[in-house]
Amino acid sequence: MLHTIVLALVQSATEFLPVSSSAHLILVPRLMDWADQGLLTDVALHVGTLFAVMLYFRKDVLSMIRGGFDILRRSFSTADAKLALNLAVATIPALLFGFFFHDYIERTLRSEKVIATTAVVFGIILYIADKVGKTSGTTASMGVKEALFVGLAQMLALVPGVSRSGITMTAARFLGIGREEAARFSMLLAVPTIGAAGAWTALKVFTAPVGESVGVLSLLTGVSVSFAGGALAISFLMNWLKKSSFAIFALYRVLLGLALFFIF
């Protein structure tokens, strides 16, 4: 139970900050000499943070749903339809990449050295994007090409240490999207991306020959803690970006990567 609570806190604190939750979920058990938590626990933790982003951005989520219906009615010019279309376009590349390469990446790239390298490299890239990117752009001005650019960047997030939120915010900042708007689009993009990834992982778990034995209470605790922590992390980031930059997160990534090179 304690392990689940700690991992839920780690997941919720790092899922939406541009520091890579997958890297931290790999590192914490190894540093603490814990057994791997397993796929079922990972799914539960991601479900909690998914609920958090859907609650915090509930108005935008409703806009996405309305936009989906607008598209079905072949009405592509509404603001809701544009948002839904851009999120769909940005989601597809990562889903396809994950479908074909997820197992390979899980087998070969879940190492401390890979995480250390990606933490440093993409921390520096985040800092550069935040410095050179304009701050006046909005997601309303994004077109399909810009959404595809963010989606292609999101493919890299399957590599541990890259950070799904980090790489999508970085791509949006390179496009001149303002900090708050970049974070908002990245978090809305988490809804279809994490939702699809979580559903796929859950399917793999429950269709496996031998199921994972995890207590219901432990799973519910993980969902609850990651939900509460995720909501706090989102609120913190959105308030932080109203007056500050991504520099502190870029610095954290670089320091984390250097520390990992030293430790491992």
CB atoms within 10 A of CB 213: 7
Q: What is the pLDDT of residue 208?
A: 60
Statement: the pTM of the whole predicted model exceeds 0.85:
yes
What type of residue is 206?
F
User: 213 Cβ partners below 8 Å, 6+ apart?
Assistant: none
CB atoms within 10 A of CB 264: 13
194 neighbors 50 (Cβ within 8 angstroms): yes
Find tokens 């799904």 and name the residue: 164
Report d(CA 223, CA 220) in Å as an integer: 5
The radius of gyration computed from the CA coordinates of the chain, to the nearest angstrom, equals 18
Q: What is the pLDDT of residue 214?
A: 55
Q: What is the pLDDT of residue 40?
A: 66
**Does 216 score more than 80 pLDDT?**
no
User: 116 Cβ partners below 8 Å, 6+ apart?
Assistant: 161, 256, 257, 258, 260, 261, 264
pLDDT in tens, 202-213: 676 666 665 555
Report d(CA 112, CA 37) in Å as an integer: 17
212 neighbors 38 (Cβ within 8 angstroms): yes
Is residue 33 helix, strand or coil? coil
What type of residue is 42?
D
pLDDT in tens, 52-101: 999 999 999 999 999 999 999 999 889 999 999 999 999 999 999 988 98
pLDDT in tens, 122-174: 999 999 999 999 888 888 889 999 999 999 999 999 999 999 999 999 999 99
163 neighbors 13 (Cβ within 8 angstroms): no
Report d(CA 187, CA 183) in Å as an integer: 6
